[in-house]
Chain A
Amino acid sequence: MSFFRRFSALYQWLYTQFHRIPSVPRNVLITGGFLCGAYFISDILMGHTGGENNSALVFVLAVVLISLLTSGYRYGILASIIGTFCINYYFMVPYSQFSLSYAGYPVAMLSMVAISCVVCALTARVKLQAAEAVSREKKAKALYQLNERLNQEKADIQLQSARETIRGNILRAVSHDLRTPLTSISGSAAVLLASGEISEKNAAMLKDIKADADDLIVMVENLLSVTRIQDSTIPLKKREEVLEEVAGDAVLTTRRRFPDFQVELVLSEDILYLPMDPMLIKQVMVNLLENAVRHSGDREHITLHLYRQDNWAVAEVRDRGTGLSPELCQAIQSGRPISRDLSGDTTRGMGIGLSVCQSIIKAHGGFFAAGNNPEGGAVFRFGLPMEDFPNE
Chain B
Amino acid sequence: MSEKRTILVIEDEHAISNFICRALSANDYKPLAAASGKEGLSLFFSHGPDLVLLDLGLPDLDGLEVLSQLRGLPQEVPVIIISARDRESEKVKALDMGADDYVVKPFGVSELLARIRSSLRRFDRLKVNQGIQRDVYQVKDLTVDIAKHQVIQGEDEIHFTQNEFKILELLAIHAGKVLTYDFILEHVWGPYGGSSNQILRVNMANIRRKLKENPSAPRYIYTELGIGYRMLED
* Residue pair A184, B225 in contact (C-beta under 8 Å): no
Instruction: For chain B, give the interface size range.
Output: 35 or more
A156-182 CB contacts (< 8 Å) to partner B: 175-176, 179-182
Instruction: Please state if A251 and B23 are interface contacts (CB–CB under 8 Å).
Output: no
Docked pose: A279 CA to B199 CA in angstroms: 21
Q: Which residues of A contact B218 (CB under 8 A)?
A: 248
**A264 is an interface residue with CB less than 8 A from chain B:** yes
Q: Is the CB of B216 within 8 A of A182?
A: no
Is A251 in contact with B109, judged by CB distance below 8 angstroms?
A: no
Checking A182, A194, A242 against B109 with a beta-carbon cut-off of 8 angstroms, the contacting residue is: A194
CB within 8 Å of A: which B142-195 residues:
none
B223 touches A248 (CB 8 A): yes
Contact A251 to B216, CB < 8 A, known contacts A175-B86, A180-B105: yes
Interchain CA distance A186-B105 in the complex, whole Å: 11
| A273, B18: Cα distance in complex, Å | 42
CA distance A190 to B77 in the complex (A): 28
In the complex, what's the smallest C-beta–C-beta distance from A304 to chain B, in angstroms? 8
B26 beta carbon closer than 8 Å to chain A = yes
The number of inter-chain residue pairs (CB within 8 angstroms) is 114
Given contacts A191-B19, A248-B218, contact A186 B106 (CB under 8 A): yes
Chain A residues whose CB sits within 8 angstroms of the CB of B198 once the complex forms? 240, 273, 389, 392
Question: Does residue B15 face the partner (Cβ distance < 8 Å to A)?
Answer: yes
Q: Closest B-chain residue to A255, C-beta based?
A: B216
**Using a CB-CB cutoff of 8 Å, which residues 274-317 of chain A contact chain B?**
278-279, 282, 304
A240-B201 in contact (CB<8A):
yes
User: Nearest Cβ in chain B — how far from A72, in angstroms?
Assistant: 73
* Contact pick for B226, options A271, A273, A278, A392, CB 8 Å: A278
Return 14 A-B CB contacts under 8 Å, by A number.
A176-B84, A179-B84, A184-B19, A187-B109, A190-B110, A195-B26, A240-B201, A245-B225, A248-B218, A251-B216, A271-B206, A273-B198, A279-B225, A282-B225
B contact set with A: CB distance below 8 Å: 13, 15-16, 18-20, 22-23, 26, 84-86, 105-111, 197-199, 201-202, 204-206, 208, 214-218, 223, 225-226
Q: Which 8 A-B pairs have the closest CB atoms?
A: A248-B215, A184-B15, A251-B216, A265-B216, A183-B106, A188-B19, A187-B19, A190-B109
- Please name 10 further chain A to chain B contacts, defined as beta carbons within 8 Å, in addition to the given A256-B111, A271-B206, A279-B226, sorted by A numbering: A175-B84, A179-B84, A187-B106, A240-B201, A241-B201, A244-B208, A246-B225, A256-B108, A273-B198, A282-B225
